[in-house]
Amino acid sequence: MKRAAFFVSLSTACILFSCNQHKQEKEEVKDFPVTNPVTLDTIVSKDYVSQVRSVQNIEIRAQERGFLQEIFVDEGQYVKQGQLLFRIKPQLYRAELAKAEAEVKEAKIELQNAKTLADNNVVSKNEQAVAMARLEKAQAEMQLAQIHLSFTDIRAPFSGVIDRIPKRLGSLIDEGELLTSLSDNSNMYAYFNVSEQEYLNYQTNAKEKGGDEVQLILANNQPLKYKGKIQTIEGEFNSETGNIAFRAKFPNPDKLLRHGETGKVRMTLPMTNALIIPQKATYEIQDKKYVFLVDAKGQVHSRQIQISSEMPDLYVIGKGLTVQDKVLLEGTQMVREGDKIKPHYVDPKKTIAALRLKAE
């Protein structure tokens, strides 16, 4: 009797467990919002890694050999055009100039004597011409000596900032040896590479609408407060990367930017028929973006996508989706591959409008 009661209880428990399990399975089919990508004409901002360069940056090199006698500036100092920077010991070149000046005086005396004799028909006019040639040669040698002496004083060819000075007083300097570099940082260039598609969008749309204005994002992720403008585009594409180089010019009155800095140029580009989805509809695995697609039976399947551009709360899709695809809008962390859900369709334009309103 007790055994029969035990079997009845066990059967009842099994039935209850089976019912609860069946009920739990039904409860697992939850209601989730789904939407589909939508095509819109929009404007996107994209960042491009850039190299910042001075509008003028040159190496200051010695034009004569000798000992470094004077250094008149310090590293990082701002100098003006024509300011004296270095002096190579000039005694040898002064002596050469003095010798050349004496030879000019001697040649002038010889010319005067030859002229007097020629006027009195003592010597021919050819002797006078030879004396004139000797004077001209001496004068040329004197000018050359003056140039060599002037090269011992090294001056700034333009206003700018002095870079590192590797040599010290008394160093023996060879002709052509690097003394320092000079950068004109009043304005700065930022060079960055753009894909062929973005180049075409810029040339056909952005340029006509004044889209040549760009922003520079510094290495600390802070924007430069001065806007720049795209000035030039290189003449041809890089055959290996498919990119073409742009150059933007930025004012630098605060002297914040220095030659050799890195940053990101933020350029605004118009896009026609851009395929857009909300960012919250995606998830990431190992730096790759995915979405969950919902089929006609309500089952979810993951798919990898490529992002071509990013906007606040929105992604522009490059590859992986079409406007016919049904995408899980929310709950990407609550479902797994093959799960069945109850889809609740949401108009994508209303979703995007709400996200933009929230961003504003």
Could you report the per-residue pLDDT of 124-179, keeping only the tens digit for each? 778 878 878 888 888 898 888 888 887 888 999 999 999 999 999 989 989 899 99
Residue reference for tokens 């290996």: 240
Higher pLDDT, 188 or 129: 188
Compute CA 13 distance to the chain's CA centroid, rounded to the nearest angstrom: 71
The conformation of residue 359, written as its DSSP 8-state character, comes to: H
> Sorting pLDDT into bands at 50, 70 and 90, what band is 247?
very high
Cα atoms in the 13 Å half-sphere on the side-chain side of 177: 17
Q: What pLDDT does 17 receive?
A: 47
CA dist., res. 303 & res. 293, Å (int): 7
Residue 224: exposed, middle, or buried by beta-carbon count in 10 A (0-12, 13-18, 19+)? buried
CATH entry, 31-44+273-359, from 3.40.50.300, 2.40.420.20, 3.20.20.70, 1.10.357.10? 2.40.420.20
Q: What pLDDT does 351 receive?
A: 83
Which homologous superfamily does the CATH classification assign to the domain defined by 68-158? Helix hairpin bin (1.10.287.470)
Using alpha carbons, select from 229, 95, 209 the residue that is nearest to residue 152. Answer: 95
Q: Please identify, in words, the CATH class of the domain defined by 46-55+182-270.
A: mainly beta
Helix (H, G, I), strand (E, B) or coil at 69: strand
The b/e string for 44-54 (b: 16+ C-beta within 10 A; e otherwise) is bebebebebbb
Q: Do the beta carbons of residue 31 and residue 344 sit within 8 Å? A: yes
Mean pLDDT for all residues in the chain: 84
Q: What pLDDT does 274 receive?
A: 86
| Structural domain boundaries in the chain | 31-44+273-359, 46-55+182-270, 68-158
**For the chain, where are the alpha helices, taking DSSP H only?**
2-28, 91-119, 125-150, 196-201, 348-359
> Sorting pLDDT into bands at 50, 70 and 90, what band is 93?
confident
What Cα–Cα distance (Å) separates residue 205 from each residue in 40, 177, 201, 272?
Answer: 16, 49, 6, 10
CA dist., res. 106 & res. 134, Å (int): 10
Q: Do the beta carbons of residue 337 and residue 315 sit within 8 Å? A: no
Q: Which residues contact 253 (CB under 8 A, 6 or more apart)?
A: 186, 226
Q: Do the beta carbons of residue 178 and residue 59 sit within 8 Å? A: yes
Q: Do the beta carbons of residue 206 and residue 194 sit within 8 Å? A: no
Does the pTM surpass 0.85? The reply is no
Range of weakest confidence among 49-53, 86-90, 208-212, 258-262: 208-212
Q: Is 127 left (phi over 0), alpha (psi -120 to 50) or beta?
A: alpha
What Cα–Cα distance (Å) separates residue 80 from each residue in 167, 168, 184, 260?
Answer: 21, 22, 10, 21
> Sorting pLDDT into bands at 50, 70 and 90, what band is 359?
very low
Q: What percent of the chain has pLDDT over 90?
A: 45
- 6-27 per-position pLDDT tens digit: 444 544 544 444 555 544 444 5
**Which helix (H) or strand (E) is 117 found in, with range?**
helix 91-119
**Distance between start and end Cα atoms, the chain:** 76
Q: What pLDDT does 244 receive?
A: 95
Whether the domain at 31-44+273-359 and the domain at 68-158 fall into the same CATH topology: no
> Sorting pLDDT into bands at 50, 70 and 90, what band is 321?
very high
Average pLDDT for residues 270-285, to the nearest whole number?
Answer: 88
Q: What pLDDT does 13 receive?
A: 47
Q: What pLDDT does 211 receive?
A: 65
CA dist., res. 37 & res. 327, Å (int): 8
Compute CA 58 distance to the chain's CA centroid, rounded to the nearest angstrom: 20
- 190-211 per-position pLDDT tens digit: 999 998 888 887 887 665 555 6
What Cα–Cα distance (Å) separates residue 32 from each residue in 23, 275, 293, 304, 346?
Answer: 19, 22, 12, 20, 10
> Sorting pLDDT into bands at 50, 70 and 90, what band is 28?
low
